[in-house]
């Protein structure tokens, strides 16, 4: 589980904004297709951790012995690159890459939503805000972040509509015909994960409080 401290809370909107602007200009200079391939490849590799987390959740540590020692372990301190992989990571990566290949082939909005929900579940399992002060500050900063990038500029909508990947939930507004492409309402995963992480923290607090009361 990754715990966010106060400094991380302040930096989060800045890093998110820089990434969003970077994708926006990358789409402008390199084209949407090139950025889409990069994002899908990144999700295919990064989804390994999510597949492993779901696997461990369903089989309750049955394959834990294959996830103990690193088969690949190296780092490049100059650029901050660190790669660590266990035996369990390899089949999980294969499953993740196959899932993205199916997505590229089908481009189905239902399949997109299934993958997006899985990403949300994994994020809520691994992200912990830390305390209420961090959560409150993060929600306030992201409130102004959304106002600027959604209403002040076209950056967020351009990136969200331009990237064809499971980074958002899609709901059809109309049914396509032979001439018209389907239109979708979209909801970014950040709008689910960040408030969900705050609610998850509140739930953990309630559970710990209940346990402490039962002990006495």
Residues annotated as catalytic are 146, 191
CA nearest neighbour of 149 among 103, 188, 93: 188
- CB-based burial label for 54 (10 Å; 0-12, 13-18, 19+): middle
Q: What are the DSSP calls for 158-204, one per residue?
A: HHHHH--SSSEEEEESS---SSS---EEEEETHHHHHHHHHHHHHHH
């Amino acid at each position: 589980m990754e715990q966010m401290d106060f400094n991380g809370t302040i930096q989060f909107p800045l890093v998110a904004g820089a990434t969003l602007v970077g994708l926006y200009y990358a789409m402008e200079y390199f084209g949407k297709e090139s950025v889409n391939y990069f994002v899908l490849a990144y999700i295919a590799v990064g989804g390994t951790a999510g597949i492993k987390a779901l696997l461990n959740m369903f089989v309750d540590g049955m394959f834990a012995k294959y996830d103990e020692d690193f088969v690949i372990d190296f780092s490049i301190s100059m650029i901050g690159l660190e790669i660590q992989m266990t035996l369990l990571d390899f089949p999980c990566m294969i499953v993740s890459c196959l899932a993205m290949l199916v997505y590229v082939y089908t481009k189905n909005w239902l399949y997109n939503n299934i993958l997006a929900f899985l990403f949300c579940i994994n994020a809520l399992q691994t992200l912990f805000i830390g305390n209420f002060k961090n959560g409150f500050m993060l929600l306030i900063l992201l409130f102004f972040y959304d106002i600027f990038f959604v209403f002040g500029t076209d950056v967020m909508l351009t990136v969200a509509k331009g990237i064809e990947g499971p980074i958002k939930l899609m709901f059809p507004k109309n049914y396509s015909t032979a001439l018209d492409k389907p239109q979708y309402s979209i909801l970014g995963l950040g709008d689910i994960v960040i408030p969900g992480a705050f609610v998850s923290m509140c739930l953990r607090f309630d559970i710990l409080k209940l346990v402490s009361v039962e002990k006495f």
